[in-house]
Structure 1
Amino acid sequence: MAVKDLVENSIAENKIVIFSKTWCPYCKRAKALLTSKFPDVQTKIVELDELDEGSAVQDYLEEKTSQRSVPNIFINQKHVGGCDTVVGLDSQGKLASLVSASA
């Protein structure tokens, strides 16, 4: 239950949530993009490789989103996807409106 609570509370309490791994280049790119473009937006980064229950969190995220890979990104409590999706939304000019929308 703690794993589900960690995921659900993180999503509910933060505008942007990035489930990540410290060594992942796609995670680094997504984190850099989101934190540099939106420095004043409440962002939570959960490094799965630094959590004892990280693999259980990843299992729960797969169950919740059908996505096992990281980064696994939520904006305004909606599952967005991974790095390519966020970069694509940014290049289309849609990312800022997604972040600024009300949950």
Structure 2
Amino acid sequence: MPAIIRTIIVLTFILLAAICQAETAADGPQSPISPAAPAKHKYPKIVLYSVSWCPHCKQAKEYFTKNNIPFINKDVELDDAAMNDLTRKYKSQGVPVIVIGDDKVILKGFDEQKFLKAIKGLQEK
């Protein structure tokens, strides 16, 4: 009897190890982002005023993320100072509001072409 139990225990450990290895292999190899890696594009500071449930805010976040555009997201429902900036400084009652280059360009709403035009205009200066 003890030999059978020992065999079952060993086989159980082998099976668990195989399952763990399969999950790790399924994740695929990942390389860490090197801070020394050169950026393809240099972007000015971009601040996105948003809320979590807004589809246009989500579209902007996904666009920035997909295109490796660094941005600061300020959720105005969670951040009172951000809400104050949105309503008083930028005179907006809606989101998203995108502030580019330390208040050089203020975009209300998200439109990819308007965003690209604003970035290009700042990069040419």
TM-score normalized with structure 2 length:
0.51
Does the CA-based 8 Å contact 2:48-2:73 persist in structure 1?
A: yes
How big is the shift at 1:66?
Answer: 1.6
Q: Which amino acid aligns with 2:120?
A: S
Matched, 1:74 2:104: no
**Residue in 2 that maps onto 1:64:** 89
- Listed as ranges, the gaps of 5+ residues in structure 1 are 1-13
Change in CA separation of 1:96 and 1:59 when aligned onto 2, cut-off 3 Å: closer
How big is the shift at 1:21?
Answer: 0.4
**Residue in 2 that maps onto 1:24:** 54
Larger relative CO (CA 8 A, sep 6+): 1 or 2?
A: 1
- Structure 2 counterparts to residues 34-49 of structure 1, below 5 A: 34-37=64-67, 39=68, 41-49=69-77
- Listed as ranges, the gaps of 5+ residues in structure 2 are 1-43
Q: Which amino acid aligns with 2:75?
A: E
**Residue in 1 that maps onto 2:112:** 87
Aligned-partner Cα distance in 1 for 2:76–2:124: 27
Does the CA-based 8 Å contact 1:20-1:27 persist in structure 2?
A: yes
Change in CA separation of 1:26 and 1:65 when aligned onto 2, cut-off 3 Å: same
How big is the shift at 1:49?
Answer: 2.4
Change in CA separation of 1:96 and 1:36 when aligned onto 2, cut-off 3 Å: farther
Show structure 1 runs of 4+ deviating over 3 A: none
For residue 50 of structure 1, give the secondary structure of its aligned residue in structure 2.
coil
Q: Which amino acid aligns with 2:71?
A: T
How big is the shift at 1:44?
Answer: 0.6
Aligned-partner Cα distance in 2 for 1:25–1:95: 22
- Structure 2 counterparts to residues 5-16 of structure 1, below 5 A: 15-16=45-46
